[in-house]
Structure 1
Amino acid sequence: MSPNSQPAAAPPPPAEALRVLSFDMARGERFGEHEHDVHQLVWTPAGVLTVDVGDHSWVLPPSLALWIPAGVPHATGATRPSQMRSVYVAPDRCPVRWAQPTVVAVGPLLRELVIHLADPDLAPDPKSRAEAVLFDLLRPVGVMTIELPMPADVRALRVAQALLARPADPRPLEAWGREVGASARTLARLFAAETGMSFGRWRTRARLRAGLEHMAANRPLAAVAHHVGYTTPSSFIAAFRQETGRTPGAYFAVPQQRRP
């Protein structure tokens, strides 16, 4: 499979509500923007996935999955070697009615159900029972993800792309303005109008998103904080908690779920 090829949607057979397929993804591999006629639950049991929908992006460690409704264009990538488990769900047999991409927590039971349902030899009756439990476990997670919309103006976009490449760069807007040919006031206005947040908050999110990807690779927290521009781990943790509602450790923790 080429780095930019798109996985087939593989809709379930008429008598089944869902089908699970696995895709091995190398670091940096990406499925370009595409859409499916079926709903999709994107999850990795090992690794880190990113999913982009329009200007929004989600970083998914094994403790989180993303529900993508049918017909929503999206692109999926891997920031490290990963195995994507895609659960494709027939809309007419699905009790979940979410109209927008929705993050769900993946606890031990949901994890094992996805693996169980991937078995091609699973008989129809056990499969139907497992599907019903899986749907019951799909509940929105009470945590914000680190979304990072990009500006459209070419000058602001150059700044954004430079910060994604080097998130620890401390230069203020005045210095960036001299580099891209715009005043600090113009850049501040562009970031606010085109990303919905101030330049300072956008840079904070860029740093936290980069940090999330490094933490998923099991780098020490102190090294991660320094790499993305924070002088101490505590300052990184405080910023991370303010944006996501959780500490980095809690963000990666696998929630405990009970069968309903």
Structure 2
Amino acid sequence: MSPNGQPRAEAPDPAAICVRTFDMQPGQRFDLHDHETHQLAWSPSGVLTVDIGDRSWVLPPTMALWIPAGVPHATGATRPALMRSVYLPPAHCPAGWHDPTVVGVGPLLRELITHLAAPDLGPGARSRAEAVLFDLLRPVGVTTIDVPMPLDTRARRVAEALIAHPSDERTLDGWGREVGASGRTLARLFAAETGMPFGRWRTRVRLRAALGHLAANRPLASVARRVGYSTPSAFVAAFRLETGRTPGAYFADPPRSARG
């Protein structure tokens, strides 16, 4: 057992895939840790967040994140979620991605992971299921909503406030009066330290905040208002521009090409 409560994930048989299930409560988080195995982090219900370095992934049930062995990461949930993690020994894993990789989770892969989680699964059935699982691991062609954080304390105060309240409409000049910096200075800091203009950064914050509400099947108009958009159409347009998909398509099962 690791210090933060997650198992070390080494199965008794070094060739076997290990599946562990965790009930995640709102705000629960497994702090920074790593595994000797590769990990496929996935939630069949709810939305997971995975932080690696200065990057953050928000994963609906149709997506999982491949985390290579030895890569420090933190995992959490802002709303109730069931996390089902698949741990894969590197020596027996044909997938060789060296970087975190988003994988599409369609109906077959979803059922197969659930099947592998069964405690009474016999050796023969397990071996056959593991072989099929490797065939189904395919990167999904969708852009995740990463929100890099600025380092400067003034810009970071603005960033943290907007993450807490994404619908806040204040301009950078308005924020500057609160944190002791001009709007121009804050704009420069956001561009230099996040790699994008403030407007696009705030859009990503809003869209990432929307994912939990969308996963909970809240009406689109309500979600748009919660995260600062006056109309559903403006929200959908921003979502499509950032991810390449509409909100509905983002949560839909991946296309057959992503499932193999």
* TM interval, short-chain normalised: over 0.9
1:121 maps to 120
2:192 maps to 193
2:171 maps to 172
Q: Report the Cα distance in structure 2 between the residues aligned to 1:51 and 1:97, rounded to whole angstroms.
A: 20
Alpha-carbon RMSD: 1.6
Q: Give the counterpart letter for 1:89 in structure 2.
A: L
2:84 maps to 85
Q: Report the Cα distance in structure 2 between the residues aligned to 1:15 and 1:235, rounded to whole angstroms.
A: 50
Structure 2: runs of 5+ lacking an equivalent: none
Instruction: Check conservation: 1:108, 1:254, Cα contact below 8 A.
Output: yes
Instruction: Check conservation: 2:140, 2:254, Cα contact below 8 A.
Output: no
SS of aligned partner of 1:159: helix
2:72 maps to 73
The Cα of 1:108 is off from its aligned counterpart by 0.7
2:149 maps to 150
1:231 maps to 230
The Cα of 1:28 is off from its aligned counterpart by 1.2
Number of corresponding residues: 258
Q: Report the Cα distance in structure 2 between the residues aligned to 1:140 and 1:17, rounded to whole angstroms.
A: 22
Instruction: Check conservation: 2:46, 2:212, Cα contact below 8 A.
Output: no
Q: Report the Cα distance in structure 1 between the residues aligned to 2:115 and 2:256, rounded to whole angstroms.
A: 16
Q: Report the Cα distance in structure 2 between the residues aligned to 1:219 and 1:79, rounded to whole angstroms.
A: 15
Q: Which runs of 4+ in 1 moved over 6 A?
A: none
2:132 maps to 133
Q: Report the Cα distance in structure 2 between the residues aligned to 1:207 and 1:228, rounded to whole angstroms.
A: 5
TM-score (norm 1): 0.95
Q: Report the Cα distance in structure 2 between the residues aligned to 1:241 and 1:184, rounded to whole angstroms.
A: 28
Q: Report the Cα distance in structure 1 between the residues aligned to 2:7 and 2:189, rounded to whole angstroms.
A: 38
Instruction: Check conservation: 1:108, 1:256, Cα contact below 8 A.
Output: no
Q: Give the counterpart letter for 1:201 in structure 2.
A: R
TM-score (norm 2): 0.95
The Cα of 1:34 is off from its aligned counterpart by 0.7
Q: Report the Cα distance in structure 2 between the residues aligned to 1:92 and 1:163, rounded to whole angstroms.
A: 43
Q: Report the Cα distance in structure 2 between the residues aligned to 1:103 and 1:230, rounded to whole angstroms.
A: 28
- Determine if the alignment matches structure 1 residue 206 to structure 2 residue 209: no
Can you list the C-alpha shifts for 1:40-61, whole angstroms capped at 9, x where unaligned?
0011111111111111111111
Q: Report the Cα distance in structure 1 between the residues aligned to 2:203 and 2:5, rounded to whole angstroms.
A: 32
Structure 1: runs of 5+ lacking an equivalent: none
Q: Report the Cα distance in structure 2 between the residues aligned to 1:211 and 1:256, rounded to whole angstroms.
A: 23
SS of aligned partner of 1:236: helix
Q: Report the Cα distance in structure 1 between the residues aligned to 2:99 and 2:106, rounded to whole angstroms.
A: 22
2:22 maps to 23
